[in-house]
């Protein structure tokens, strides 16, 4: 059977890391696409030259023409600009919306059967716009945010409890912004919910609150340290986990920005919720029950996403 084809739209910091991880995991052949000439070709060749050392079989190529992504099984989109210190994800909206238009049309015309994972920020609005511009089915267009946000949460929790990250699970709902909702009640160490761990005296509520806030600010913390761009290792690892779930029909339950119609009182919008990812794309939205406080936080986050979508519609009148 032919190998899967993975198209990476955007060959910057995240795009290059995605290519390397996809190759190391032998998920398929990789095409890096970018408007910058030489960058996708150079990164593809550099990674290909590491194959004899690491021992993976995957074709690597770079391109500046959308015809190169023809027939891709998975497209991961990072095209656009990244944050600099002092910028919020929302500051990127105008520039990256235009990028989503050209990327959406490129995917529509060349890889209409692909599972599309969007990483470009502001995430929830960009994945919505990408689905609109590409016209692909909503279950085949998804945004990567929840896996990253919950990975950050898990890392901070594992550090606090001094246990393996493998034994920490976490859920983060809502938009990929300051209003995201890390759900402590549904986050556990070895199955023990975080509020119980506070009761057991393993940590304090103050420490837990600080970790929740650090999770919300996780992206800005990295931008502040790097100064020249935003995070790329953890975002790339997160999107690769989603791509692998699709390609291998793993039916992983992962938080992601998916089109929610009916659950959580929503009538058709992209927002971060737990979803099952398998060969059908986002096969199911997991509609967990929320208490009053959690619902209020989610509602606030949903309003923030709605504001961004409205701003997109104002900029581009073709968006419905």
DSSP bridge partners of 118: 77, 143
Any contact of residue 107 with ligand APR (CB under 6 A)?
no
Nearest-CB residue to ligand APR?
Answer: 12
Per the CB < 8 A criterion, the answer to whether 113 and 119 are in contact is: no
Which residue out of 176, 232, 258, 297 is catalytically annotated? 176
Structure-token pair, residue 276: 């099952």
Residues 114-173 touching ligand APR, rule: CB under 6 A, are 119-121
Active site residue 20: no
DSSP bridge partners of 192: 189
> Which residue's structure tokens are 């945010």?
145
* Binding range to ligand APR, per CB under 6 A, among 97-105, 202-210, 256-264, 271-279: 97-105
Any contact of residue 218 with ligand APR (CB under 6 A)?
no
Is 12 marked within a binding site? yes
The burial class, CB within 10 Å (0-12 / 13-18 / 19+), for 252 is middle
Q: Which of 26, 35, 159, 307 binds ligand APR (CB under 6 A)?
A: 35
Is 211 marked within a binding site? no
> Which residue's structure tokens are 């946000």?
149
Is 96 marked within a binding site? yes
Per the CB < 8 A criterion, the answer to whether 58 and 21 are in contact is: no
Q: In terms of Cα–Cα distance, which of 29, 272, 35, 253 is closest to 143?
A: 272
Coil, helix or strand for 199?
Answer: helix
Any contact of residue 238 with ligand APR (CB under 6 A)?
no
Please list the active-site residues: 176
Give the binding site for ligand APR (CB under 6 A): 9-15, 34-36, 39, 78-83, 92, 96, 99, 102-103, 119-121, 229-230, 232, 235
State the binding site for substrate.
83, 89, 121, 152
State the binding site for NAD(+).
10-15, 34, 96, 119-121
């Amino acid at each position: 059977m032919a190998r899967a084809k993975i198209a990476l739209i955007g060959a910057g910091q995240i795009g290059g890391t995605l290519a390397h991880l996809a190759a190391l995991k032998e998920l398929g052949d990789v095409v890096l696409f970018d408007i910058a000439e030489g960058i996708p070709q150079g990164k593809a060749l550099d990674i290909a030259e590491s194959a004899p050392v690491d021992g993976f079989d995957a074709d690597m190529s770079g391109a500046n023409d959308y015809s190169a992504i023809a027939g891709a099984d998975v497209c991961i989109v990072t095209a656009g600009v990244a944050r600099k210190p002092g910028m919020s994800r929302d500051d990127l909206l105008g520039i990256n919306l235009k990028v989503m238009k050209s990327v959406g049309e490129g995917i529509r015309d060349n890889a209409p059967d692909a599972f599309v994972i969007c990483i470009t920020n502001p995430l929830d609005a960009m994945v919505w716009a990408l689905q609109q511009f590409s016209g692909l089915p909503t279950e085949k267009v998804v945004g990567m945010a929840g896996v990253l946000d919950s990975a950050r949460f898990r890392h901070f929790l594992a550090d606090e409890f001094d246990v393996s990250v493998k034994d920490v699970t976490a859920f983060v709902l809502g938009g990929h912004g300051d209003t995201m909702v890390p759900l402590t009640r549904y986050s556990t160490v070895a199955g023990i919910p975080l509020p119980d761990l506070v009761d057991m005296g393993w940590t304090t509520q103050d420490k837990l609150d600080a970790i929740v806030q650090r999770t919300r600010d996780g992206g800005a913390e990295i931008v502040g340290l790097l100064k020249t761009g935003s995070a790329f290792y953890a975002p790339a690892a997160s999107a690769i986990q989603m791509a692998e779930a699709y390609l291998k029909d793993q039916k992983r339950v992962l938080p992601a920005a998916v089109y929610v119609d009916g659950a959580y009182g929503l009538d058709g919008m992209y927002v971060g919720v737990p979803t099952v990812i398998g060969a059908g794309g986002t096969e199911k939205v997991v509609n967990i029950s929320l208490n009053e406080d959690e619902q209020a936080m989610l509602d606030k986050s949903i309003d923030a996403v709605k504001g961004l979508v409205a701003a997109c519609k104002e900029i581009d009148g073709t968006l419905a």
